[in-house]
A and B are shown apart, each in its own frame.
Chain A
Amino acid sequence: MSSNLRTYIARRLILLVPTLIGMTVLVFAITQLFDPIERAALYITEPRQARFVKEIIAKYGLDRPVYIQYFNWITQVIQGNLGWSQSLHMKVLDALVTRFPATAELAIYSTPLIILFGIYLGKLSAIKRNTVIDHASRVVAIIGWSLPSFWLGIVLLAIFYGGMGVFPPGRLSEWAEALVRSGEFKLYTGLYTIDALINLNFSVFLDAIYHLVLPVITLTTINVALIMRVMRSSMLEQLNKMYITAARARGLDEKTVIDRHATRNALIPVITLSGLLAAGMLSGVVITETVFEFKGVGYFAAHAATQLDIPAVLGFALFAGILFILANLIVDILYAYIDPRIRLG
């Protein structure tokens, strides 16, 4: 790793700090909309403490000036105490941690599909600019962009599950669920497809895939347009550059010009913008998991929201915000690796 890259990454990490502090301030500001009694739930770690609301208010200074409250709250958050979720009857952090693998599993299967399809369609659309192919793929992208994800999910369920009896909602069938919960099946990652492979249990693996099909299709359809339109305009921009003319003037065939030069350069902005994809995915999983009863963090958050379970919703918002920031950090680092102008300074 060159020293340039190291300073670049270090600078990115330092820039993270004010944003993270800002995020916690914002979440804390939302808590101020509630009265101290409601806020007490943010500090407790087990239901029995709920009886001692007055003590909690006194302990964390919930009736004292805002900055003292913020300090007390942030100390708890840093220690991993995000409060007690009434809707799930567990600590918010535990709920997030136990449910995250399900969400990760959804993301792991959808993200590559989104990126591959998006890049392919965007490239195709740019090369065949203003032809039928271009118009068709742009229309498809706009349709995907405009589809309400929850409705798409419902329609897919109605057609496949309701109409044909395939691809049911949930994460696993009942028999597989029972097997996974029994002692015989060891959980390593919490991602059922991967754990099933490690356990060499292919029927559970297939069952998990079977349940992933519709949610993955939904997430992919909704998000592919984002990558596609960035790739298309980026590709069009690169194709107009002088170095493309120069490459053609060298006698290179069109395939080489496009694959080796235009595409490689066009991918750079796509990578920087794929941070936006992280936001799309995080929002997408809330809806998709709810529709398909796929019990990940998104399902948990949506469920908690309808129960007005404040600590759970705020904890999830903070969690999603941090994930989003981390995704952008990874994107920045990836960007530096790919663009030699940054890597080598």
Chain B
Amino acid sequence: MSNKPLSLEEQLKVNDLTVRFYTYEGIVKAVEKASLKIRKGETLGIVGETGSGKSVTALTILALTPSPGRVEDGNILFRKRDSSVIDILRMNEHQLLQIRGKEISMIFQEPNAALDPVCKVGEQITEAILAHRLREMVEKSIEVIKKEKDNEYDLWTRLETWTYKEMLNNPSDVRLKIIQKIPIIRDITKRRLRQVIRQEIVELLKLMEIPDPGRVIDAYPHELSGGMQQRIVIAIALACSPLLLIADEPTTNLDVTVQAQILDLINRLKEKFGSSIIYITHDMGVVAEISDRVAVMYAGSVVEVAPVKELFRNPLHPYTKGLLESIPRPGSPLKSIPGTVPNLVDPPSGCRFHPRCAYMMNKCKEIMPRLVKVSEDHYVACLLYEGESDD
């Protein structure tokens, strides 16, 4: 997979992404030439241990690489709603605001940490809606006013209508700006808008299968359980029906029963919203349940990509084999991969897996293998299969 443009059925393509962290201890080579693609409407599972670079990759897709990380190389091609293709890494901050939350959004590992503790849940969802769907909401509010015929000559209603029309047609109007600055007037002139948004949020929360949405809107995050919090985070992510949803271990910190509910919910919402999903996890069981295709990451690189059934039936990379064998099964002894995850400040030369690999050859120490196609839709980065390439 090189720098090929995006084909029509593809939603996102990550090419040779390299991210490094500049720390006192040295340069952490967190992601090294990682490549991925996600088709429209597909769920791609990314599996790997802690420190394999999956979360960094996910955040980099939103151009939110955590500091002190820096993208050194690669590109991230994304097909927007209007079918134009952009490279996320080459957007300016203003353009990115139109991508984040609207075209691509994200669900986080710890719902408790991903919600602002001093901000009501409803306010946080409102923010997402206001950031991207203000126009739609204002139009709806005007509709609402039109339906209430008896209020037509009410001065306040007229001011409110005027405000909305100005917001749509001439948002930089000075009079509008003045009105927005005066506390009480500001609230009165946005009464319907607030009702419309609240109604929208209630509908959204119902979709998230949240009981009693009216109460939850006015709650603070700490008043909700972990499962409820995660539903709120999902609601925020889906508030603007994104094309791509990145879920970074969304069930890891939840109880097992809640885990199943959330997985179920994500699966159903995917059908409804038609979004593509990148599902990051270290749990092979979850991967099997949710993904169409799976990418396996090890020490910052993608080592194998295949449809989920193919991967479980015919794992090719020695690391994938090891991962599958280390799933505990009743009756058989627990297997593990010998050795430990390498220190990414000073990663092994060549193939990063070679010190732990049972099939290690001499050239593995020197050559870093590239992803090659071994069969339809099955790619692997391992020198054992280099010759079979027909790519």
Interface residues of A (CB under 8 A from B): 241-243, 245-254, 256, 260-261, 264-265, 268, 338-341, 344
Beta-carbon contact of A256 and B127 below 8 Å: yes
User: Is B117 engaged at the interface, CB distance under 8 Å to the other chain?
Assistant: yes
Complex formed: what's the CA distance from A268 to B119 in Å?
Answer: 13
Cβ-defined contact, A251 with B116, below 8 A: no
Residue of B nearest to A262 (CB): B116
Which residues of B sit under 8 angstroms from A254, Cβ to Cβ? Answer: 93
Interface pair B116/A265, CB less than 8 Å apart: yes
- Residue of B97, B222, B233 near A251 (CB, 8 A) is B97
Chain B residue numbers with a CB within 8 Å of A338 are 118
A340 to B118, CA, bound (A): 6
Q: Which residues of A contact B66 (CB under 8 A)?
A: 245
Q: How far is the CA of A340 from the CA of B99 in the complex (A)?
A: 32
B131 touches A245 (CB 8 A): no
The answer to whether A249 touches B105 (Cβ under 8 A) is yes
Instruction: Indicate whether B114 reaches chain A with its CB closer than 8 angstroms.
Output: yes
With contacts A250-B127, A265-B117, A265-B118 known, is A340 near B101, CB below 8 A? no
Chain A residues, CB < 8 A from B233:
246
B223 closest partner in A (C-beta): A344
Q: Please give 4 more A-B residue pairs, beta carbons under 8 A apart, in addition to A243-B114, A246-B233.
A: A248-B64, A256-B127, A341-B117, A341-B118
Say yes or no: is B106 at the interface (Cβ < 8 Å to chain A): yes
Does B115 sit at the interface, judged by CB under 8 A?
yes
A264 touches B100 (CB 8 A): no
Q: Closest 10 A-B residue pairs measured CB to CB?
A: A251-B101, A242-B113, A251-B100, A246-B114, A250-B101, A340-B220, A251-B131, A250-B128, A249-B106, A243-B116
| Residue B32 lies at the interface, judged by CB distance under 8 Å to chain A | no
Q: Is B102 an interface residue (CB 8 A)?
A: yes
The answer on a CB contact under 8 Å between A247 and B127 is yes
**Distance, CA A245 to CA B65, complexed state (A):** 10
Task: Please name all residues of chain A whose beta carbon is closer than 8 Å to the beta carbon of B105 when the two chains form the complex.
Answer: 249-250
B379 within 8 A of A: no
Contact (Cβ within 8 A) B101 A241: no
User: What is B's interface to A at a CB cutoff of 8 Å?
Assistant: 59, 62, 64, 66, 93, 97-102, 105-106, 108, 110, 113-119, 124, 127-128, 131-132, 220, 222-223, 233, 236, 240
- Hey, which chain B residues are within 8 Å of A241, CB to CB? 113
Set of chain A residues within 8 Å of B102, measured between Cβ atoms:
251
Q: Contact at B100–A250, with CB atoms within 8 Å?
A: yes
Chain B nearest CB from A2 CB (Å) reads 12
Q: How many whole Å from A29's CB to the nearest CB in chain B? A: 43
Among candidates B59, B223, B236, residue contacting A250 with C-beta atoms closer than 8 Å: B236
On chain A, the residues within 8 Å of B98 by CB distance are 251
CB distance from B222 to the nearest CB of A (A): 5
Instruction: Give every chain B residue within 8 A of A252 (Cβ-Cβ).
Output: 97, 101, 127-128, 131
B101 touches A249 (CB 8 A): yes
Task: Please state if B64 and A249 are interface contacts (CB–CB under 8 Å).
Answer: yes
Given contacts A245-B59, A248-B64, A341-B222, contact A261 B119 (CB under 8 A): yes
**Distance between Cα atoms of A309 and B233 in the complex (Å):** 65
- Would you mind naming 21 contact pairs between A and B with Cβ atoms under 8 Å apart? A243-B114, A243-B117, A245-B108, A245-B114, A246-B233, A247-B124, A249-B64, A250-B100, A250-B101, A251-B97, A251-B128, A252-B97, A252-B127, A256-B127, A261-B116, A265-B117, A265-B118, A338-B118, A339-B117, A340-B117, A340-B222
Which residues of B are found within 8 Å of A250, using beta-carbon distances?
100-101, 105, 124, 127-128, 131, 236
Docked complex Cα distance between A260 and B222 (Å): 18
The residue of chain A having its C-beta at the shortest distance from the C-beta of B105 within the complex is A249
Question: Which residues in A have their C-beta under 8 angstroms from that of B108?
Answer: 242, 245-246
A242 contacts B114, CB within 8 Å?
Answer: yes
CB of B363 to closest CB in A, whole Å:
41
Q: Which residues of A contact B62 (CB under 8 A)?
A: 248-249
- Shortest C-beta distance, A340 to chain B (Å), equals 4
Question: What's the least CB distance linking A337 to chain B, in Å?
Answer: 11
- Of B102, B116, B220, the most chain A CB neighbours within 10 A belong to B116
In the bound complex, CA of A36 to CA of B76 (Å):
85
**Chain A residues within 8 Å of B99, by CB:** 251
Q: A247-B127, A248-B100 are in contact. Are A339 and B118 (CB under 8 A)?
A: yes
A241, closest chain B residue (CB): B113
How far, in whole Å, are A241 and B114 apart by their CA atoms in the complex?
8
Smallest beta-carbon distance A3→chain B, Å: 15
User: How many angstroms from the CA of A247 to the CA of B64 in the assembled complex?
Assistant: 11
Q: How far is the CB of A295 from chain B (nearest CB, A)?
A: 42
Known: A245-B64, A246-B233, A250-B101. A260 touches B220 (CB 8 A): no
Contact of A249 among B93, B100, B119, B222 (CB under 8 A): B100
Q: How far is the CA of A339 from the CA of B62 in the complex (A)?
A: 31
Q: Chain B residues near A243 (CB, 8 Å)?
A: 113-117
List the A side residues contacting B127 at CB < 8 Å: 247, 250, 252, 256, 260
In the complex, the chain B residue whose C-beta lies closest to that of A264 is B118
Q: A246–B131 contact, CB under 8 A?
A: no
A340 CA to B223 CA, complexed, in Å? 9
Q: Which residues in B have their C-beta under 8 angstroms from that of A248?
A: 62, 64, 100
Do the beta carbons of A251 and B64 come within 8 Å of each other?
A: no
B220 and A344 form a contact (CB under 8 A): yes
Q: Chain A contacts of B223 at CB under 8 A?
A: 344
Report chain A residues within 8 Å CB of B115. 243, 246
Q: Which residue of chain B is the closest to A242 with respect to CB atoms?
A: B113
Assembly CA distance A260 to B102 (angstroms)? 20
Measured between beta carbons, the chain B residues less than 8 angstroms from A261 are 116, 119
Q: Which residue of B lies closest to A340 (CB)?
A: B220
CA A253 to CA B320, docked complex, whole Å: 41
Chain A's nearest CB lies how many Å from the CB of B18?
21
Q: How far is the CA of A39 from the CA of B68 in the complex (A)?
A: 64
